[in-house]
Chains A and B, each alone.
Chain A
Amino acid sequence: MAKARKNNTVKLSFDTLKYAPAPESKSSATINAQYDLFINGKFEKPLSKKYFDTINPATEEKLSSVADANTADVDKAVKAARVAYDKVWSKMPAKERGKYIYRIARMIQERAREFAIIESLDGGKPIRESRDIDIPLAANHFFYYAGWADKLAYAFPNKQPKPLGVAGQIIPWNFPLLMAAWKIAPALATGNTVVLKPAETTPLTALKLAEIIQESDLPQGVVNIITGAGATGAAIVNHPDINKIAFTGSTDVGKIIQRAVAGTDKKLTLELGGKAANIIFEDAAIDQAVEGVINGIFFNQGHVCCAGSRLFVQESVYKVVMQKLKDRIASLIVGDPMDKNTDVGAINSKQQLATIHQYINIGKKEGADIFESNCVLPKKGFFCKPTLFTNVAQSSRIAQEEIFGPVLAIQTFRTDDEVIEKANNTPFGLSAGVWTDKGSKVFNLTSKLRAGVIWANTYNKFDPTSPFGGYKESGFGREGGLHGLSAYLNAL
Chain B
Amino acid sequence: MAVIHQTLAVPDFSLSPRIDHVGIEERAARFTKRSIKAETKINGLKLALNMIDLTTLEGKDTDGKVKQLCYKAQHLHDAYPGLPTVAAICVYPSMVSVAKKALGNSGIKVASVATAFPSGQAHSDIKIRDVKYAVNNGADEIDMVISRGKFLQGEYNFVFDEIAAVKEACGIARLKVILETGELVTYDKVRRASDIAMYAGADFIKTSTGKISPAATLPVTLVMLEAIRDFYYKTGKMIAMKPAGGISKSKLALHYLVMLKETLGDAWMNNHWFRFGASSLANDVLMQLEKERTGVYQSANYFSVD
Interface positions of A (Cβ within 8 A of B)? 1-5, 8, 10, 12-22, 128, 132, 283-289, 291-292, 320, 323, 327, 331, 340-341, 437, 457-458
Q: Which residue of B lies closest to A12 (CB)?
A: B265
Q: Tell me the B213-256 residues at the A interface (CB within 8 Å).
A: 226, 229, 232-237
Taking the closest CB of chain B, its distance from the CB of A118, in whole angstroms, is 20
Known: A21-B37, A283-B18, A286-B17. A1 touches B7 (CB 8 A): yes
Interface-lining segment among B21-29, B74-82, B116-124, B194-202: B21-29
Chain B residues near A5 (CB-CB < 8 A): 234-236
Cα–Cα distance between A386 and B233 once the two chains are bound (Å) = 23
Chain B residues near A17 (CB-CB < 8 A): 40, 43, 261, 266, 269
- When the two chains form their complex, are residues A19 and B36 in contact, meaning their CB atoms are under 8 A apart? yes
Chain B residues near A457 (CB-CB < 8 A): 20, 22-23
Contact of A287 among B36, B41, B226, B266 (CB under 8 A): B226
Cα–Cα distance between A272 and B235 once the two chains are bound (Å) = 47
Q: Tell me the B7-25 residues at the A interface (CB within 8 Å).
A: 7, 17-20, 22-24
Chain A residues near B7 (CB-CB < 8 A): 1-2
- When the two chains form their complex, are residues B38 and A291 in contact, meaning their CB atoms are under 8 A apart? no
Taking the closest CB of chain A, its distance from the CB of B33, in whole angstroms, is 6
- When the two chains form their complex, are residues B33 and A132 in contact, meaning their CB atoms are under 8 A apart? yes
11 A-B pairs with C-beta separation under 8 A: A2-B7, A8-B233, A12-B264, A13-B265, A14-B265, A15-B266, A17-B43, A20-B41, A22-B35, A285-B17, A288-B19
Contact of B267 among A4, A13, A18, A289 (CB under 8 A): A13
Chain A residues near B43 (CB-CB < 8 A): 17
Q: Which residue of B lies closest to A330 (CB)?
A: B265
Does B34 belong to the interface (CB within 8 Å)?
yes
Chain B residues near A15 (CB-CB < 8 A): 266
The dominant DSSP class at the A interface is loop
Q: Which residue of A lies closest to B222 (CB)?
A: A287
Chain A residues near B27 (CB-CB < 8 A): 287-288, 291
Chain A residues near B236 (CB-CB < 8 A): 1, 3-5, 10
Does B58 belong to the interface (CB within 8 Å)?
no
- When the two chains form their complex, are residues B261 and A285 in contact, meaning their CB atoms are under 8 A apart? no
Chain B residues near A12 (CB-CB < 8 A): 229, 264-265, 267
- When the two chains form their complex, are residues B23 and A20 in contact, meaning their CB atoms are under 8 A apart? no
Cα–Cα distance between A131 and B284 once the two chains are bound (Å) = 30
Cα–Cα distance between A1 and B232 once the two chains are bound (Å) = 9
Cα–Cα distance between A437 and B191 once the two chains are bound (Å) = 15
Chain A residues near B37 (CB-CB < 8 A): 19-22
Q: Tell me the B128-177 residues at the A interface (CB within 8 Å).
A: none
Cα–Cα distance between A18 and B229 once the two chains are bound (Å) = 21
Cα–Cα distance between A22 and B41 once the two chains are bound (Å) = 11
Cα–Cα distance between A22 and B265 once the two chains are bound (Å) = 21
Q: Which residue of A lies closest to B38 (CB)?
A: A20
Taking the closest CB of chain B, its distance from the CB of A386, in whole angstroms, is 15
Q: Which residue of B lies closest to A6 (CB)?
A: B236
Cα–Cα distance between A323 and B229 once the two chains are bound (Å) = 11
Cα–Cα distance between A16 and B269 once the two chains are bound (Å) = 10
Taking the closest CB of chain B, its distance from the CB of A274, in whole angstroms, is 22
| Proximity bits, B262-273, A CB within 8 Å = 1, else 0 | 101111010000
Q: Which residue of B lies closest to A317 (CB)?
A: B17
Cα–Cα distance between A5 and B236 once the two chains are bound (Å) = 6
Chain B residues near A1 (CB-CB < 8 A): 7, 235-237
Which of B7, B19, B265 is most buried by chain A, counting CB atoms within 10 A of its CB? B265
- When the two chains form their complex, are residues B235 and A288 in contact, meaning their CB atoms are under 8 A apart? no
Chain A residues near B22 (CB-CB < 8 A): 457-458
- When the two chains form their complex, are residues B34 and A287 in contact, meaning their CB atoms are under 8 A apart? no
Cα–Cα distance between A10 and B235 once the two chains are bound (Å) = 9
Cα–Cα distance between A285 and B37 once the two chains are bound (Å) = 34
Cα–Cα distance between A1 and B27 once the two chains are bound (Å) = 30
Chain A residues near B38 (CB-CB < 8 A): 20-21
Q: Which residue of B lies closest to A11 (CB)?
A: B265
Cα–Cα distance between A288 and B235 once the two chains are bound (Å) = 22
- When the two chains form their complex, are residues A291 and B229 in contact, meaning their CB atoms are under 8 A apart? no
- When the two chains form their complex, are residues B23 and A458 in contact, meaning their CB atoms are under 8 A apart? yes
Cα–Cα distance between A17 and B232 once the two chains are bound (Å) = 21
Taking the closest CB of chain A, its distance from the CB of B8, in whole angstroms, is 9
Cα–Cα distance between A292 and B266 once the two chains are bound (Å) = 24
- When the two chains form their complex, are residues B34 and A292 in contact, meaning their CB atoms are under 8 A apart? no
Cα–Cα distance between A12 and B231 once the two chains are bound (Å) = 13
Cα–Cα distance between A284 and B267 once the two chains are bound (Å) = 28
- When the two chains form their complex, are residues B266 and A331 in contact, meaning their CB atoms are under 8 A apart? no
Known: A10-B233, A14-B266, A17-B269. A340 touches B35 (CB 8 A): yes
Beyond A287-B17, A287-B24, A437-B20, 10 additional contacts (C-beta under 8 Å) are: A1-B237, A8-B233, A12-B265, A13-B266, A13-B267, A16-B269, A19-B37, A291-B27, A341-B34, A458-B26
Chain A residues near B267 (CB-CB < 8 A): 12-13
Contact of A285 among B23, B39, B235, B269 (CB under 8 A): B23
Q: Which residue of B lies closest to A328 (CB)?
A: B262
Chain B residues near A288 (CB-CB < 8 A): 19-20, 23-24, 27
Cα–Cα distance between A12 and B39 once the two chains are bound (Å) = 24
Cα–Cα distance between A16 and B36 once the two chains are bound (Å) = 15
Cα–Cα distance between A340 and B40 once the two chains are bound (Å) = 14
Chain B residues near A284 (CB-CB < 8 A): 18
Closest 10 CB pairs of A and B: A4-B236, A288-B23, A22-B35, A12-B265, A285-B20, A288-B20, A340-B35, A20-B38, A20-B40, A437-B18
| Proximity bits, B173-213, A CB within 8 Å = 1, else 0 | 00000000000000000000000000000000000000000
